[in-house]
Amino acid sequence: MKPDVVSTLRSQTVQLDISQHSEQRHGSCTRYEPVSKRLARPYQRRFRIAFGRVKIFMFVTFAAKAAYVTVQESIMPSPRVISSVAGNACTLAVVMYSLPRSLRYTLSSIKKNIFAGLYGTGCDIKLFLHTYRHSEVYHNRRSGEGSIILNNSEFQLLQPDNFIVDDLVSVLKKQAAVMNNLTTYRDLWEDNYESLQRALLALHSLKYATQLAASLPVPPAGMLILRPDLRYHDALNVSLLQYAIKTNSIVIPNWQPWGGANDRFAYGAYKPMMQVGGRYDSILAFTAQNQGFHSEQFLEWIIRTKVQQTGRCAILCTGQQASRVRADGKVKSEDFTPKYRKCDSPNDD
């Protein structure tokens, strides 16, 4: 044969062999499958097996997450659970007190890390505040603040629902008898009772701000006691708040207990929080029993001797961090190491 004829026949033979091995019959019809598709068939099978395994894994993962969420929801109620707790259907009272001397530096953190979470519950949030009209130049040797003129209207940045502004000098005169009694005991701050006087003013302010919350027609489900001069670094643990309301408990920070319980902020169920907020009236009894006044020890004493004696109330703890901000904007360095060892479960630390 001629070379060109041989080449032609070989080409036809190869094509015929491929066609014979690639044809598939469907009824009375014959369909020819491309070689590339036939060669890819084993890989397609492997892909289907792998994809099936991925779907199984995703299903198992989803089921596990659903089970976890179900367990968590049984422990930490959803925002709607607040409406089923004794008290107003869904009202939370926020109590702020004393001098909001650095509010222009702390307001953004209060809105972001406190109120954003509270409004997210869908509850009605009521803010109550007591403060002082401070006409004199502000000095605080212990905190290093001096020669500062305070803005007495700065508290209005919080837009409280109800508030009281007392004249500082008038309150100091009314507290003179109490101070005279307290100064017969040791001065734990060792600054000529200056810090004791400030603590007394703060607790007086807290008492009257708490009484404003008590004036609601129907008691709220829960209460938060917050200092306006704190920069809150973390978001409020709303689930822990809801759990505290459900279990008639209170929540305090787990850092800086100083031999007692951290009194920077607290929140929880309405009834025990009312006792925490009204502890001013027990100052003399505590000081006489302990031969001196100490803020953190006083709070723990109130919880142990007053709150827990009137009914079951757990102390829950939070690792939420907040720093004191001075009137000049300086932020106090804080130690946030968890040190309070008397927490009941659950806690967020």
Q: Is residue 329 part of a domain?
A: no
Q: What is the CATH number of the domain that holds 96?
A: 3.90.550
Rounded mean pLDDT, 109-132: 97
Question: What confidence score (pLDDT) does residue 40 get?
Answer: 55
296 and 218 part of one domain: yes
Q: Clarify whether residues 195 and 162 are in a common domain.
A: yes
Could you give phi then psi for residue 324, rounded to 5 degrees? -75, 135
Which phi and psi (to 5°) does residue 245 adopt? -65, -45
| Claim to verify: residue 58 and residue 94 sit in the same structural domain | no
Its domain, for residue 52, covers 31-75
Rounded to the nearest angstrom, the gap between the alpha carbon of residue 248 and the centroid of all alpha carbons in its chain is 18
The pLDDT value recorded for residue 139 is: 79
- The predicted model scores a pTM of 0.76
pLDDT tens for residues 261-316? 999 999 999 999 999 999 999 999 999 999 999 999 999 999 999 898 877 899 99
Residue pLDDT, tens place only, 222-255:
999 999 999 999 999 999 999 999 999 999 999 9
Indicate the average pLDDT of the chain: 83
Confidence at residue 220, expressed as pLDDT on a 0 to 100 scale: 97
In this predicted structure, the answer to whether residue 160 has a pLDDT above a threshold of 50 is: yes
Give me the pLDDT at residue 89, please: 64
The closest alpha carbon to 284, from 185, 201, 187, belongs to 185
Q: What span, in angstroms and rounded, lies between the C-alpha atoms of 267 and 249?
A: 9
| pLDDT value at residue 136 | 81
* C-alpha–C-alpha distance, residues 201 and 186, integer Å: 19
Which ranges of 260-343 would DSSP assign to H, the alpha helix? Answer: 270-277, 283-290, 295-302
Element (H, E) at 67: helix 35-75
Of 285, 286, 340, 297, nearest in space to 315 by CA: 340
Single out the residue of 256, 162, 170 nearest to residue 209, CA to CA: 162
pLDDT tens digits, 31-43 = 445 555 555 566 5
**Using the 8-state DSSP alphabet, how is residue 122 labeled?**
T
Structure tokens at 261: 């319980």
